[in-house]
Amino acid sequence: RSGEMAKLTQLIDNEVFRAYATYATIVLLKMMLMSVTTAYFRITRKAFVNPEDTASFGKGESAKKYLRTDPDVERVRRGHLNDLENIVPFLGIGLLYALSGPELSTALLHFRIFTGARIVHTFAYLIPLPQPSRGLSWAVGYAVTILMAYKVLKTALYL
Amino acid sequence: RSGEMAKLTQLIDNEVFRAYATYATIVLLKMMLMSVTTAYFRITRKAFVNPEDTASFGKGESAKKYLRTDPDVERVRRGHLNDLENIVPFLGIGLLYALSGPELSTALLHFRIFTGARIVHTFAYLIPLPQPSRGLSWAVGYAVTILMAYKVLKTALYL
Amino acid sequence: RSGEMAKLTQLIDNEVFRAYATYATIVLLKMMLMSVTTAYFRITRKAFVNPEDTASFGKGESAKKYLRTDPDVERVRRGHLNDLENIVPFLGIGLLYALSGPELSTALLHFRIFTGARIVHTFAYLIPLPQPSRGLSWAVGYAVTILMAYKVLKTALYL
């Protein structure tokens, strides 16, 4: 079976695929940071949603007051959902794009701009920066994904 | 390295894989349209959630009144989340299914029905159509995904 | 074209890739169960969000009272969203990890622990179990994903 393993390894040896693997992993790790950020704000703001999470603050009414929404917690959660809505298309379309045989330099440009745009979007959402920072960074990532989708459909279209 | 690139290109030359690439891209583009639809309703309904988004409508109380929920905005957001919940399994299971060696005609049937069902689901949600339109279109996409998962597990099971 | 098909089938014949296919499918099917669970609680608790879903309960005010939130429905929905937030990174990073040439036994260990942790997380959320059950099961799945991301970046890094 070492022959098959070699063939698999060739996929990860391809430079375009390695670039995809790198940026997809970075952007997913960035998204995963949103979970920790939510937990951080829930704990520091004492704003929880599940009764079992407030048990350590005491019983009954004394714990119940921590079952509340907090503007900072909700902001991080919106940023997290926006990540899901935009990173899922990038993962799927980006993988197919990487397999559609693009130039390495073109592929790198797409992956880098998308990843940069999502990092800027996170800061624009969490600080928050005045608009149109968040809107523009969202639109840049969106446009890059559309461009990759166009290349995938041009190369692979089979309806 | 041109030999490796050739091998990668062979993946996108396979007809089943090309069909997957086509329908996965279409269904992801459809999901991405939900972001634009949400933005459209937020702007036309003047219903925002982030204070920085209403800054162009003036300062203080005059802008604050636009921080509100709107039934149409919430409806699009629910449709978007339902897309995420159903398209993520399709992307993952569909990719593995495409690699599990199905007949081209069978694979096309699965991909086409799923994609059609999700498009009907979107119209059923946004217009909205009376039930059971939305429920049925959801169930059809769900059933297709289960069928593909069965084929993947039958072909690849390795616990 | 049978030669190409053979090459594709070799991917699904690789044991590490088969293990990924198996556990990714299991964890996605588990996530899909959350949709059915939400529907079950919406129907048994008579707690809906779309007016068209309550039409079978009568017209006007008599149906309107079923447009409400229910704590059990909201709990399942939070579990579902938490699945999305954690299973999407596993799908993407796990696929790249499977292609990065890990030892079969090491890969199986990662996939099994992640899948087990997410199943425990679901029970901990839905029953609910007292903390830190849910927190710990979340953290175990999160840590496994980080470890796989480290292996992907170590093998494939191409910035």
B80 touches chain C (CB under 8 A): no
Q: Does a structural domain hold residue A64?
A: no
- pLDDT classification of C3: cutoffs 50, 70, 90: very low
Q: pLDDT tens digits, residue range B26-60?
A: 999 999 999 999 999 999 999 999 999 998 887 77
Which of the residue ranges A57-61, B60-64, C25-29 has the most confident prediction, judged by mean pLDDT? C25-29
Distance CA A34, CA A32 (A): 5
Q: Does a structural domain hold residue B104?
A: yes
Q: pLDDT tens digits, residue range C47-96?
A: 999 999 998 887 777 788 999 999 999 999 999 999 999 999 999 999 99
Q: Identify the bridge partners of residue C49 per DSSP, sorted by sequence position.
A: none
- pLDDT classification of B3: cutoffs 50, 70, 90: very low
- pLDDT classification of A156: cutoffs 50, 70, 90: very high
Nearest to C8 by CA among B152, B13, A12, A152: B13
The pLDDT value recorded for residue A130 is 93
B73 touches chain A (CB under 8 A): no
The pLDDT value recorded for residue A8 is 53
Distance CA A33, CA A51 (A): 24
**Is the confidence metric ipTM above 0.90 for this complex?**
yes
Q: B-chain residues within 8 Å CB-CB of C21? A: 96, 99-100, 152, 156, 158
Give C8's DSSP letter.
H
The pLDDT value recorded for residue A93 is 98
Put simply, the answer to whether C5 touches B14 (Cβ < 8 Å) is yes
Neighbours of B95 (CB within 10 A): 23
Token pair listed for B37: 């639809």
Q: B-chain residues within 8 Å CB-CB of C7? A: 7, 10-11
The pLDDT value recorded for residue C8 is 53
The pLDDT value recorded for residue B11 is 72
Which chains have 3+ CB pairs within 8 A of B? A, C
Distance CA A138, CA A78 (A): 13
Q: A-chain residues within 8 Å CB-CB of C157? A: 18, 22
Domain count, chain B: 1
pLDDT at C117 over 70: yes
Residue B79 in contact with residue B134, Cβ under 8 Å? no
The pLDDT value recorded for residue B1 is 38
| Percent of residues, chain A, with pLDDT higher than 70 | 94
- What are the respective helix, strand and coil percentages of chain C, to the nearest 5? 80, 0, 20
Q: Does a structural domain hold residue C37?
A: yes
pLDDT at B9 over 70: no
Residues in chain C: 159
Mean pLDDT of the residues in chain B: 92
pLDDT at C110 over 50: yes
Higher model confidence: residue A3 or residue A97? A97
A159 touches chain C (CB under 8 A): no
Q: Does a structural domain hold residue A58?
A: no
DSSP annotation string for B76-94: HHHHHHHHHHHHHHHHHHH
A92-A94-A99 Cα angle (round to 5): 100
DSSP annotation string for A40-84: HHHHHTT-BSSGGGGGGG-STHHHHTTB---HHHHHHHHHHHHHH
pLDDT at C120 over 90: yes
Q: Which of A17-21, A43-47, B118-122, C58-62 has the lowest mean pLDDT?
A: C58-62
Residue A148 φ/ψ, nearest 5 degrees: -65, -40
Residue B48 φ/ψ, nearest 5 degrees: -120, 165
Q: Does a structural domain hold residue A115?
A: yes
pLDDT at C139 over 90: yes
Which chains have 3+ CB pairs within 8 A of C? A, B
Nearest to A154 by CA among B25, B11, B87: B25
Residue given tokens 């704003």 in the structure block: A47
Put simply, the answer to whether A78 touches B50 (Cβ < 8 Å) is yes
Put simply, the answer to whether B19 touches A142 (Cβ < 8 Å) is no
pLDDT at C1 over 80: no
Q: Does a structural domain hold residue C60?
A: no
Question: In Å, how far are A27, A57, B116, C57 from C60, measured between CA atoms?
Answer: 47, 44, 33, 10
The pLDDT value recorded for residue B104 is 96
CA dihedral B103, B108, B110, B112 (to 10 degrees): 180
**In CATH, what number is assigned to the domain containing residue A91?**
1.20.120.550
Q: pLDDT tens digits, residue range B120-151?
A: 999 999 999 998 999 999 999 999 999 999 99
A87 touches chain C (CB under 8 A): yes
Q: pLDDT tens digits, residue range B106-117?
A: 999 999 999 999
DSSP annotation string for C32-85: HHHHHHHHHHHHHTT-BSSGGGGGGG-STHHHHTTB---HHHHHHHHHHHHHHH
SS3 state of residue C20: helix
C157 touches chain B (CB under 8 A): no
A11 touches chain B (CB under 8 A): yes
Region A109-133 average pLDDT: 97
Residue A155 φ/ψ, nearest 5 degrees: -80, -40
Q: Does a structural domain hold residue A60?
A: no
| Percent of residues, chain A, with pLDDT higher than 90 | 82
Q: B-chain residues within 8 Å CB-CB of A96? A: 12, 21, 24-25
Put simply, the answer to whether B50 touches A130 (Cβ < 8 Å) is no
Residue A124, domain extent: 1-44+70-157
Q: Does a structural domain hold residue C62?
A: no
Mean pLDDT of the residues in chain C: 92
pLDDT at C26 over 90: yes
CB-based burial, B27-62: b 16+ in 10 Å, e otherwise = bbbbbbebbebbeebbeeeebbebebbbeeeeeeee
Distance CA A66, CA B80 (A): 30
The pLDDT value recorded for residue C64 is 86
